């Protein structure tokens, strides 16, 4: 399925992953670092995301404007994202500009100056980003749910940080965090397109082969089932709809068998128009417009999520209907026809993803030491049985393991006590 995937590790631990696609007209280059909000202390909350912003604000060689012009001036694109346990900086350019783009990306990754004026300005930009997501009821419900699922753990803190933690992230604090967390042994350079592996290795070695790892590299806090889980949050806002977010903790990326079963379960529940939630809650009952399920994943833990938005007066009925569908998965195995459709859907979607952007998937798994063999993923999905899905649902999707986040209109009179009763299906 993948073209030739090659991996080389330098002496300092940097990995170079390449996917040679000789007929491509483009080159995709990314720097992945195994550092995210999970690596932060409470006082550092938001540092990973803040650093992601600051790396685009200028180096000794290039201003912020010059960085974007260097890539976009070639018809390319440049961007980044921060997650719970990783950060990624990436570009896509015409293939003949690949190593020029690599030099630009490495320059911002390693040589950002963290100018004080730019830093203070960007602090305000991130504050606006926090306000923006706080004003979106669906985003707010998911953020609240995240805090409930991993209460008191770094995984439960917002990736953007809070207004309070943001104010304490000084230039010295950010530089210290980057120096002690952005280690070569946590870094993967990935290349895809019309490129050659040996040339990519030589280029990265020249740019970063001399770098050393910090002497005391602090590992992020591990997940434990002893971490408390909060059953309910209820937030009132000046909105029209009630936003519902349901979450159950699940195994993580390292548990490949459980991961395959969870994929089938989530897909059957609400990931497509043929899913149970879409057909029941939207099509037959007409209780909402938007309803879906999905998963979040870390190496050692994850969560299955269901989200929906509905008219406030229908929120209780919608909640009961969703949990009734969850209960059905626990009580009776999927039919052979539904299981076949679900597995075929998952395999087809995965193959389309591999056709579109396989290097990001492969590099992300290599970053965490997980197999990047796509055929193994497909074999795992095809091997899932209906009884395994039912048993997994019975173990994981219990009322005791459910966290429910509600963002409701101010005029809605449903109490927390009433919501707590609703979640006991």
Listed residue (204, 195, 7) closest to 102, CA to CA: 204
Which strands sit side by side in the sheet containing 26-33, from one edge to the other? 5-9, 15-20, 187-193, 26-33, 87-94, 77-82
52 catalytic residue (yes or no): yes
As given in the structure block, the two tokens for residue 353 are 């993803």
Task: Spot the catalytic one: 52, 118, 122, 271.
Answer: 52
Give yes or no for a contact between 53 and 119, defined as CB atoms under 8 angstroms apart: no
Residues 257 and 140: their CA atoms lie apart, in Å, by 32
Distances in Å between the alpha carbon of 295 and those of 2, 43, 284?
24, 28, 25
Listed residue (114, 6, 11, 15) closest to 55, CA to CA: 114
Q: What is the DSSP letter of 378?
A: H
∠335-339-345 over CA atoms, to 5°?
Answer: 145
Burial 142-167 (b: 16+ CB within 10 A, else e): bbbbbbbbbeebbbbbbbbbeeebbe
φ/ψ of residue 236, rounded to 5: -105, 135
According to DSSP, the residues that pair with 80 across neighbouring strands are: 89
First to last CA, the chain: 43
Would you please indicate which residues are annotated as catalytic (active-site) residues? 52
């Amino acid at each position: 399925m993948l073209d030739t995937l090659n991996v080389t590790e330098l002496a300092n631990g940097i990995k170079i992953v390449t996917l040679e696609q000789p007929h491509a007209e483009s080159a995709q280059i990314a720097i992945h670092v195994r550092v995210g909000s999970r690596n932060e202390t409470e006082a550092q909350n938001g540092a990973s995301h803040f650093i992601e912003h600051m790396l685009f604000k200028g180096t000794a060689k290039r201003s912020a404007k010059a960085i974007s012009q260097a890539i976009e001036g070639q018809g390319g694109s440049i961007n980044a994202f921060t997650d719970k346990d990783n950060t990624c900086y990436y570009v896509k350019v015409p293939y003949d500009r690949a190593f020029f783009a690599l030099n630009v990306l490495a320059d911002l990754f390693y040589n950002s100056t963290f100018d004080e004026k730019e830093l203070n300005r960007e602090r305000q930009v991130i504050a606006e980003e926090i306000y923006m997501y706080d004003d979106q009821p669906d985003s707010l419900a998911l953020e609240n749910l995240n805090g409930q699922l991993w209460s008191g753990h770094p995984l439960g803190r917002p990736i953007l940080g809070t207004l309070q933690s943001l104010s304490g992230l000084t230039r010295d604090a950010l530089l210290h965090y980057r120096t002690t967390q952005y280690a070569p042994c946590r870094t993967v350079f990935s290349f895809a397109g019309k490129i050659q592996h040996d040339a990519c290795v030589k280029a990265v070695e020249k740019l970063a082969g001399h770098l050393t790892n910090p002497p005391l590299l602090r590992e992020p806090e591990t997940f434990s089932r002893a971490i408390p889980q909060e059953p309910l949050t209820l937030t009132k806002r000046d909105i029209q709809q009630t936003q519902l977010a349901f979450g159950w903790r699940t195994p993580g990326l390292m548990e490949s068998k459980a991961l395959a079963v969870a994929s089938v379960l989530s897909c059957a529940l609400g990931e497509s128009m043929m899913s149970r939630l879409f057909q029941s809650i939207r099509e037959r009952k007409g209780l909402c417009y938007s309803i879906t399920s999905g998963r979040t994943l870390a190496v050692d833990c994850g969560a299955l999520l269901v989200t929906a938005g509905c008219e406030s007066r229908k929120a209780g009925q919608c909640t009961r209907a969703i949990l009734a569908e969850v209960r059905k998965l626990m009580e009776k195995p999927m039919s052979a026809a539904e299981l076949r459709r679900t597995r075929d859907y998952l395999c087809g979607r995965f193959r389309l993803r591999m056709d579109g952007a396989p290097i990001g998937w492969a590099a992300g798994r290599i970053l965490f030491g997980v197999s990047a063999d796509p055929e193994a993923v497909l074999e795992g999905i095809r091997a899932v049985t209906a009884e395994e899905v039912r048993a997994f649902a019975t173990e994981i999707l219990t009322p005791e393991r459910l966290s429910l986040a509600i963002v409701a209109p101010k005029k809605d009179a449903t109490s927390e006590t009433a919501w707590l009763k609703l979640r006991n299906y």
